[in-house]
């Protein structure tokens, strides 16, 4: 039986991690995998998470099962973080999931059960895991144009034109903030137009929000999601805690499903509970509980918000520094987009050959589509990276 299996391509981003590790050059720079790193190149456990973990060690008296949909305290804390008061809580069904990826998976299985003929539309480009995860559920997959490669900005006209061709009941996958891989994001007036198009055409948004707090701030980064939630009758939201709480390996995420009314919400909740059970029974609890305890304890929450704000502003200043350095070296403004983009990523716009040259000649590792992780830079390496980019003729 196992002999029938087909070889599988390696995940290009994870493979790049291995290559970076194996590179003996001491001055190599890792701009690959989307993990936050501080100036020392470390991905530390956030202070509030560490404190919550210590407190949990003292207070937790049992590790018995919780609930199939996860802990209600986690649902409520995350619904509040992502949605605030944009929608009545009686319309929200929720499931704790295995990270944001688990939330996407459960969301798509829910769609498959409710609307097996729906097409799921994703931006081109999108996070490389989106298309295969969608296709694996058996749902139809389509792409909408999103990125103007020359301007390194959202091609909003093309996006809207493509979404005009979607059929009522189709699903539109949107990045809540900090678009991966481009770094180019919708403005609030554009979100408003997307919300109007979705409601007019009866399309259902599936919002993947994996970087809340990494762009313009916790509230600002949720603004598009909240606007959609306030206006569309049905919304699916896959939220990840991996990045903004730094709990990557704990696998904490939540699926929020907003239904049109209370009774539909109840049926949706029963379906989410069943989908968790059918996939993996109880979801992981540890990361979710740490997140809940941080969000619900005013002192821990204040400290988490302060540390997250430090992460956000350090990435912003690296963006500005890199854009300034490239302006100085090239005498042009063509890298100004680096300071306009938000979140952990920017797509530089290098050719695949130039990406290889940056890696082989300069030890600078970025994903093949020239996505760079801004958090992989430091004030010390920005001049070296800028010089290499200028020298490579990008």
Nearest residue to 273 via CA among 63, 113, 79, 80: 113
| Cα-based angle 326, 349, 215 (whole degrees, multiple of 5) | 75
For residues 118 and 174, which CB has a smaller minimum distance to ligand TYF in the complex?
174
Select from ligand TYF, ligand PLP, none the partner in contact with residue 325, using the beta carbon and a kind-dependent cut-off of 5 to 8 Å. Answer: none
Query: Is-contact 168 203, C-beta < 8 A?
Result: yes
Active site residue 121: no
Phi first, then psi: give them for residue 89, nearest 5 degrees: -65, -25
Q: Which of 33, 45, 67, 153 binds ligand TYF (CB under 6 A)?
A: 33
57 catalytic per annotation: no
Residue where the block lists tokens 């699903």: 171
Question: Residue 13 CB, nearest distance to ligand TYF (Å)?
Answer: 4
Total residues binding ligand TYF (CB under 6 A): 8
Task: Kindly state the smallest distance separating residue 185's Cβ from ligand PLP, in Å.
Answer: 12
Catalytic residue of the set 127, 155, 223, 257: 127
Q: Which two tokens stand for residue 192?
A: 């408003």
Token pair in block for residue 48: 């509030």
Nearer to ligand TYF, 18 or 262 (CB): 18
| Cβ nearer to ligand PLP, comparing 107 with 204 | 107
User: Of these partners, ligand PLP, ligand TYF, none, which one is at the site of residue 99 (CB under 5 to 8 Å by kind)?
Assistant: ligand PLP
Tell me how far apart the alpha carbons of residues 178 and 341 are, in angstroms, rounded to a whole number.
8
129 forms part of the interface with ligand TYF (CB under 6 A): yes
Structure tokens belonging to residue 343: 């979140």
- List residues near ligand PLP by CB under 6 A: 34, 99-101, 127, 175, 180, 208, 210, 240, 242, 253
Nearer to ligand PLP, 97 or 392 (CB): 97
Catalytic residue among 95, 210, 339, 375: 210
Q: Which of 30, 170, 208, 221 is catalytic?
A: 208
DSSP 8-state assignment for residue 21: H
Per-residue b or e along 164-200, where b marks 16 or more CB atoms closer than 10 Å to that residue's CB: eebeeebbbbbbbbbbbbbbbbbeeeebeebbebbee
Residues 352-389: b if buried by 16+ CB within 10 A, e if exposed: eebbebbbeebbbbbbbbbbbbbbbbbeebbebbbebb
Q: Does 11 bind ligand TYF (CB under 6 A)?
A: yes
Q: Which of 20, 36, 74, 127 binds ligand TYF (CB under 6 A)?
A: 127
Q: State yes or no: residue 34 binds ligand TYF (CB under 6 A).
A: yes
| Touching ligand TYF, residues 371-390 (CB under 6 A) | none
The residue nearest ligand TYF at its CB is: 34
In the annotation, is 210 catalytic?
yes
In the structure encoding, which two tokens stand for residue 309, read together?
A: 């704000």
Q: Which residue has the tokens 């949107």?
A: 174
Closest CA to 19 of 7, 30, 34: 30
Only segment of 10-18, 115-123, 285-293, 331-339 that touches ligand TYF (CB under 6 A): 10-18
| Residues in the chain, overall count | 394
Q: Which does 11 bind (CB under 5 to 8 A by kind): ligand PLP, ligand TYF, none?
A: ligand TYF
What is the distance between the alpha carbons of residues 350 and 356, in angstroms, rounded to a whole number? 10
Cα–Cα distance between 252 and 246 in angstroms, integer?
10
Residue 285's binding partner out of ligand PLP, ligand TYF, none, with CB under 5 to 8 Å set by partner kind? none
- Shortest separation between residue 14's beta carbon and ligand TYF, angstroms: 6
Name beta bridge partners: 208: 175, 238
Q: Which does 240 bind (CB under 5 to 8 A by kind): ligand PLP, ligand TYF, none?
A: ligand PLP
Q: Pick the stretch among 7-15, 144-152, 187-195, 221-229 that binds ligand TYF (CB under 6 A).
A: 7-15
Q: Which residue is nearest to ligand PLP (CB)?
A: 99
Q: What is the largest CA-CA distance in the chain?
A: 63
191 classed as catalytic: no
Q: Which of 79, 118, 243, 375 is catalytic?
A: 243
How many helices, marked H, and strands, marked E, lie in the chain? 15, 13
Which residues are known to be catalytic?
127, 208, 210, 243
Instruction: Enumerate binding residues for ligand TYF (CB under 6 A).
Output: 11, 13-14, 33-34, 127, 129, 180
């Amino acid at each position: 039986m196992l002999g029938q299996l087909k070889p599988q391509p390696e995940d290009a981003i994870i493979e790049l991690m291995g290559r970076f590790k194996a590179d003996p050059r001491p001055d190599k720079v890792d701009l690959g995998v989307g993990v936050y790193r501080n100036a020392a190149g470390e991905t530390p456990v956030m202070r509030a998470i560490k404190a919550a973990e210590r407190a949990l060690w003292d207070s937790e008296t049992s590790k018995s099962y919780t609930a199939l949909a996860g802990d209600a305290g986690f649902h409520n804390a995350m619904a509040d973080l992502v949605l605030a008061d944009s929608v009545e809580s009686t319309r929200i069904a929720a499931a704790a999931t295995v990270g944001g990826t688990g939330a996407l998976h459960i969301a798509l299985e829910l769609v498959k059960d409710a609307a097996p003929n729906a097409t799921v539309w994703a931006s081109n480009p999108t996070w490389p895991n989106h298309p295969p995860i969608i296709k694996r559920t058996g749902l139809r997959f389509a792409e909408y144009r999103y990125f103007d490669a020359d301007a390194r900005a959202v091609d909003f006209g093309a996006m809207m034109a493509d979404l005009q061709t979607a059929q009522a009941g189709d699903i539109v996958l949107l990045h809540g903030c900090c678009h991966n891989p481009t770094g180019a994001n919708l403005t609030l007036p554009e979100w408003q137009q997307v919300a109007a198009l979705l409601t007019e055409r009866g399309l259902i948004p599936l919002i993947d929000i994996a970087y809340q707090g990494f762009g313009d701030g916790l509230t600002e980064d949720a603004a598009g999601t909240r606007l959609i939630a306030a206006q569309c009758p049905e919304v699916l939201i896959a939220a990840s805690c991996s990045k903004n709480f730094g709990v990557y390996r704990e696998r904490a995420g939540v699926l929020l499903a907003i239904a049109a009314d209370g009774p539909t919400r109840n049926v949706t909740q029963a379906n989410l509970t069943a989908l968790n059970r059918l996939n993996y029974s109880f979801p992981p609890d540890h990361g979710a509980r740490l997140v809940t305890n941080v969000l619900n304890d005013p002192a821990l929450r204040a400290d988490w918000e302060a540390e997250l704000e430090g992460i956000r502003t350090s990435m912003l200043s690296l963006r500005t520094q890199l854009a300034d350095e490239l302006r100085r070296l090239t005498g042009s403004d063509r890298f100004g987009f680096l300071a306009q983009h938000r979140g952990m990523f920017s797509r530089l716009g290098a050719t695949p050959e130039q990406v290889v040259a940056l890696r082989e000649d300069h030890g600078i590792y970025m994903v093949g589509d020239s996505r760079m992780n801004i958090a992989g830079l430091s004030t010390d390496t920005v001049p070296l990276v800028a010089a290499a980019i200028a020298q490579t003729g990008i």
